[in-house]
Chains A and B, each alone.
Chain A
C-alpha cells in the first residue's frame, strides 16, 4: 500500500544514491582486495589469476611478523601514552568553569583540523640537530654538541601521540562531562580518600570514554606511514610503510592486499570487541 510506506518511510528514494555509491566505492574495492590477496604476483607487472595462499603464508615468516610486532608495539605504546597524558587533561578540563572549558576544547579541536603534515613538520624543526631544542640547549650551555633527537623511535612516538591525542582527549572528556559529581562526593562522604574516590568511582564511570579513545587512537596508529617516514627516517618500519612498499616498490600487489586484509581484520576485531564491551555506544558521536 503506498499510503503505508509513506507514513513509515519519509523519502527513502533519497538514500539510493548513497546506497549505490557506498556499494560501488567501499564494498566492491574492499572485496576486490580480499580477492587480490589470493592471487599470484605476475613476473612483470600486475597479477596472474592463479589461486594461492602464498601471500598469507608469507605473512607468518619472521621478517613480516617482525613488522607486525613492531607495528603493534608502536600502536600499544602510542595508545598508553595518549591515555596517560590525555586522561588527566580531559579530566581537569571537564572540571574547569564553563567558559574556560569551551576555550580549552576549542584549542584541542583546532589542531585536529589543521594539516597533519604541517604539524609533524613543526616537530621536525623542533627536533632536528640544528633545530630549536638543540639550539636552545646549546645556548644555555646544557650540552656541547647537538643531541640526536630526530630520526629515531622516540621521535616517531612523539609524532604519533601528538597526532592522535585529540581523539583520546575528546572521547574521555565526553565521558567526564556526563559524570554526576555527586557520586564522587558521595564516595568522599562515605570516607573514601581523594585517590580512592577517583579510582573507585571516577575511573569506572569514564570507562566508556577511555575505551572509545583507545580504539580511536589504536586503529589509525598502525597505518600512519608518513609519520614514521618523516620523523623516523624510514627506520621504524610499520604496517603502513610495509603496505606502501609492497605496492609501490616491490610491486607485489597480492602481498600488499594480504597485509591490508590482515590489518582490516584486526581493525574489525577491535571494533567488534569494543562494541560488545561498550554495548554499541557509537564511536560516531565523537565527530
Chain B
C-alpha cells in the first residue's frame, strides 16, 4: 500500500447520552479515493467533521502526514471540506468565494487571480466570476464549492454527500467529473455518501459504516464479492441472505445445512457453527438436471422482467427464498411451479457472522 497520509486511531465521540462513534480506526493512502458509506445516523458525517477539526473527539487521535492534529483548530489543518449544503458565502461572488482561502493566506493578488482562473477552468465555470451564489444553479454551486476547497491544494479533501441535492442525471455526470479531477490532481478524497452505487462507481476503497463503527473496509470488488457481515452484504447490491449451519469442512469449503438441503460455500467456521450465508442473485443457478454437487431443491414461484434482467424467485425446500437474476436470454422459461435444483459456485458464496450456536 502507498504511503499513509491520514490515520485515525480509535476515535470515540459521544453526543450527550448517544455514542456517535464507538472506536473508529482508519488509514488512508496518499492519492486515494476513499468512500465512507452508510445509512444516515451511522456516524460518517461525524467522522468527517472530526477529520476537518469541526468536532473534537472524546478519545483517540487524528494523524495527518504523521503529525498529531487531534487538537489542532480547523483553520490550521491542511484539510478542506465540500459541505453538503455547499455553504457558499452568499455575500461574495464566485471569484471571491473561490479566492477566500488564498486571501487568508495573504498570497499576492496576481497569484490568487491566476489560481482562481485555473480552478474555474477545472470546474468549467469560466465567465461566471462575477455571479452571486443565488444566481447559480445547484450544479454550478456545487462546482464553486469544489473549486473553493480544491484551490487551497489540501492534503485531504473531504466531501460530505456533495451530490445529494442534485438530480440523477447531473449526479451521474458529476460523479465522472469528480473522479476525473481527483485522478488529475492526485489529491486524497474522503467522500461520504449513502448511495451505494455512487460509492461503487467512484471509490478506490469503501468503508461501510453502521451504528458508529466501520463494519467493513476494502475495494468495491472485495466488499461486493466477500461481504463480512449481513449488514455489509445487504447494504451493497442485492444479496440472498439465509441462516445456515456448518456440517463439515471439505477441501477448504464449508458444507452447510440450509433449510432441508445441503449446500457448499466458502468461509471459515467449525462444524456445528451457525451463520448467515450470503450469495448474490446473479451467482445463483437453477436447473432441471444439474446439481453442482449440492442437494438443494426448490420450486419456481414467479418471474419478473425488468429491462435487461430477468428476476426469478425460487422457494427452496424448507422455506428459504432465493432471488436469481440473469439476462433472460433463454427462449423458453420453465413454468412457474416447476421443481428445480439450486446451486452456485461455492467460491462466490460466503458464510458470515459464524459462531457457536448458543442453544447447543
Which residues of A pack against B, CB within 8 Å?
1, 3-4, 6-7
9 sample A-B contacts, Cβ–Cβ < 8 Å, listed by A number: A1-B56, A3-B56, A3-B71, A3-B73, A4-B56, A6-B73, A7-B54, A7-B55, A7-B56
Size of the chain B interface, CB-CB below 8 angstroms: 5
Closest CB-CB distance, A51 to chain B, in whole Å?
Answer: 46
Closest CB-CB distance, B344 to chain A, in whole Å?
Answer: 51
Which residues of B pack against A, CB within 8 Å?
54-56, 71, 73
Question: CA A267 – CA B55 in complex, angstroms?
Answer: 43
The B interface is mostly helix, strand or loop, or mixed, namely: loop
B56 contacts across to A, CB distance below 8 A: 1, 3-4, 7
A1 contacts across to B, CB distance below 8 A: 56
- Extra 7 A-B pairs, beta carbons < 8 Å, given A3-B71, A3-B73: A1-B56, A3-B56, A4-B56, A6-B73, A7-B54, A7-B55, A7-B56
Question: CA A136 – CA B73 in complex, angstroms?
Answer: 75
B72 to A, closest residue via Cβ: A3
B70 to A, closest residue via Cβ: A3
B71 contacts across to A, CB distance below 8 A: 3
A7 to B, closest residue via Cβ: B56
Question: CA A3 – CA B74 in complex, angstroms?
Answer: 11
B54 contacts across to A, CB distance below 8 A: 7
B54 to A, closest residue via Cβ: A7
Question: CA A3 – CA B55 in complex, angstroms?
Answer: 9
The 8 closest A-B pairs by CB, nearest first: A3-B56, A3-B71, A7-B56, A4-B56, A7-B55, A7-B54, A6-B73, A1-B56
B71 to A, closest residue via Cβ: A3
Question: CA A6 – CA B53 in complex, angstroms?
Answer: 11
B55 to A, closest residue via Cβ: A7
Question: CA A1 – CA B70 in complex, angstroms?
Answer: 13
Question: CA A7 – CA B53 in complex, angstroms?
Answer: 9
Question: CA A7 – CA B57 in complex, angstroms?
Answer: 11
Question: CA A76 – CA B10 in complex, angstroms?
Answer: 65
Closest CB-CB distance, B79 to chain A, in whole Å?
Answer: 16
Question: CA A4 – CA B13 in complex, angstroms?
Answer: 12
Considering residues B54, B55, B56, B73, which has the most beta carbons from chain A within 10 angstroms of its beta carbon? B56
Question: CA A56 – CA B287 in complex, angstroms?
Answer: 96
Question: CA A279 – CA B73 in complex, angstroms?
Answer: 39
B74 to A, closest residue via Cβ: A7
A6 contacts across to B, CB distance below 8 A: 73
Question: CA A3 – CA B57 in complex, angstroms?
Answer: 10
A7 contacts across to B, CB distance below 8 A: 54-56
Closest CB-CB distance, A5 to chain B, in whole Å?
Answer: 10
Question: CA A211 – CA B73 in complex, angstroms?
Answer: 47
Closest CB-CB distance, B76 to chain A, in whole Å?
Answer: 12
Closest CB-CB distance, B55 to chain A, in whole Å?
Answer: 6
Considering residues A1, A4, A6, A7, which has the most beta carbons from chain B within 10 angstroms of its beta carbon? A7
Question: CA A6 – CA B73 in complex, angstroms?
Answer: 10
A4 contacts across to B, CB distance below 8 A: 56
Question: CA A1 – CA B58 in complex, angstroms?
Answer: 11
B49 to A, closest residue via Cβ: A7
Question: CA A82 – CA B55 in complex, angstroms?
Answer: 51
Closest CB-CB distance, B182 to chain A, in whole Å?
Answer: 29
B55 contacts across to A, CB distance below 8 A: 7
Question: CA A98 – CA B71 in complex, angstroms?
Answer: 52
Question: CA A7 – CA B71 in complex, angstroms?
Answer: 11
